[in-house]
Chain A
């Protein structure tokens, strides 16, 4: 009975490991889609309405999709620290405190670049920079979607298969 219970737990644990990989791939694609949409909102607010960055962040908290909204809320909450740290530093700290975005290193670099550009130039120059960053995020999103389609099934199957394999060996 105990051996059976142990085998079931091992199977479940292994399957969970596999499905967490699937979840991570889904989350990354979702975060990149949300960030790509957010860059579009930023561009409208900055280039069309000339809204100051704190107001842009308020808009993003309300309008950006999950999980990007939580990241922008984090940046907004850090604004009272301006004067001690610069805005790009606060943005970077907020990004590092946002593991839910599940971004890879190159994607994080693009996110930092967004923080470096935001509010730093005139509307026209920022528009060009935002277009470039949006294209980068679109590229990452396409890549993440392809990776999800390609690897999600494999992650789930590997998890379950690893569990079955261990159970067979141990039983």
Chain B
């Protein structure tokens, strides 16, 4: 059982430099279970991010070579295969680990294309918590009916974990769910096989820009529900409106400090004007515990 709990953390060891693997694997089990990220910064002692803050990991400061190793491991020594996501500052490593990078950017024609020098890395540890959505499912989908739901929380709040479990639950309820998994964090595909349990009736399109992915899934897979993580661009919102107009229900996540925060943003006003979502789940952290609050939405409410 403890192996199952720490499996996600143990997986991240594969993208750490050798010198860090020992201290990381020697961490107490509760640290491994709660760890959200591993933070590496040049010249600083590495740290593991826990719900109540960062805790040091090992004794040796990170060198530029350590970060080069992380970059090679996360990208599978293949910048050409991940250049699209590097341009946005991150790589999704095998196993669905999102590794964000910081440093001296290389810019071409006004757009960031990658990094000349890396100074920091944040290795996010994905969580698969089966049953995370059990509490919210009866409220979000009363009597098993399909509805479009938006999940809102600040970064690191557990949106993707909840989204993943909602997808799994709907799929086991007999619904056809299609996932546009641009960053590969929802399904963590490896050799065409999802590494996370998304249920028996789920189709995954990964590594494709979300907006294109939504429209492609709509055309090709006849889904009842389309799920996407992190709506960030007007193109994403436009594609969601198109899908909603075709009668497909949506599951999506958004960064935000609650619904009132979202209403300030243009992208969400566009979605609320079209009444795309029927309800929203807001995740808040109370004393290190995630609390889900469900709200019905009407036109103009997100």
Is the CB–CB distance between A83 and B73 below 8 Å? yes
Is the CB–CB distance between A83 and B17 below 8 Å? yes
Say what secondary structure dominates the interface of chain A.
Answer: loop
Is the CB–CB distance between B69 and A122 below 8 Å? no
Which residues of A70-119 have CB atoms within 8 Å of chain B's CB atoms? 82-84, 86-87, 118-119
Chain A, Cβ-Cβ closest to B18: A84
Is the CB–CB distance between A126 and B69 below 8 Å? no
Query: What residues of B have a CB within 8 angstroms of the CB of A121 in the complex?
Result: 79-80
Contact A87:B72 (CB < 8 A) given known A122-B113, A122-B114: yes
In angstroms, how far is the closest chain B Cβ from the Cβ of A131?
A: 15
Q: Which of A50-58, A137-145, A151-159, A162-170 contacts B (4 or more CB under 8 A)?
A: A50-58
Tell me, in angstroms, the Cα distance from A33 to B75 when the chains sit together.
Answer: 30
B81's partner among A50, A83, A87 (CB-CB below 8 A) is: A50
Chain B, Cβ-Cβ closest to A121: B79
Counted as pairs of residues, one from A and one from B, with CB atoms less than 8 Å apart, the total is: 57
Query: What residues of B have a CB within 8 angstroms of the CB of A87 in the complex?
Result: 72, 77
Point out which of A47, A53, A118, A123 has the most chain B C-beta atoms below 10 A from its C-beta.
A53
Contact A122:B79 (CB < 8 A) given known A83-B16, A86-B69: yes
Query: What residues of A have a CB within 8 angstroms of the CB of B17 in the complex?
Result: 83-84
A82's partner among B65, B69, B81, B83 (CB-CB below 8 A) is: B69
Q: How large is the interface on A (under 10, 10 to 19, 20 to 34, 35 or more residues)?
A: 10 to 19
Is the CB–CB distance between A52 and B78 below 8 Å? yes
Q: A31 contacts the other chain (Cβ, under 8 Å)? A: no
Query: What residues of A have a CB within 8 angstroms of the CB of B83 in the complex?
Result: 122-123
Q: A120 contacts the other chain (Cβ, under 8 Å)? A: yes
Is the CB–CB distance between B77 and A54 below 8 Å? yes
Q: A46 contacts the other chain (Cβ, under 8 Å)? A: yes
Q: B76 contacts the other chain (Cβ, under 8 Å)? A: yes
Chain B, Cβ-Cβ closest to A119: B77
Is the CB–CB distance between A118 and B77 below 8 Å? yes
Is the CB–CB distance between A50 and B69 below 8 Å? no
Tell me, in angstroms, the Cα distance from A46 to B73 when the chains sit together.
Answer: 17
Contact A53:B69 (CB < 8 A) given known A83-B17, A122-B114: no
Query: What residues of B have a CB within 8 angstroms of the CB of A47 in the complex?
Result: 80
Query: What residues of B have a CB within 8 angstroms of the CB of A120 in the complex?
Result: 79
B68's partner among A52, A54, A86 (CB-CB below 8 A) is: A86
Is the CB–CB distance between A126 and B77 below 8 Å? no
Can you give 13 contacting A-B residue pairs, CB < 8 Å? Answer: A50-B80, A51-B78, A52-B75, A52-B81, A82-B72, A84-B17, A86-B65, A118-B77, A119-B77, A121-B79, A122-B80, A122-B83, A123-B80
What 16 additional pairs, Cβ within 8 angstroms, besides A52-B76, A82-B69? A50-B81, A52-B75, A52-B77, A52-B78, A82-B73, A83-B21, A84-B18, A84-B69, A119-B77, A119-B79, A119-B80, A121-B80, A122-B83, A122-B113, A122-B114, A123-B80
The 4 closest A-B pairs by CB, nearest first: A52-B78, A119-B77, A123-B80, A84-B18
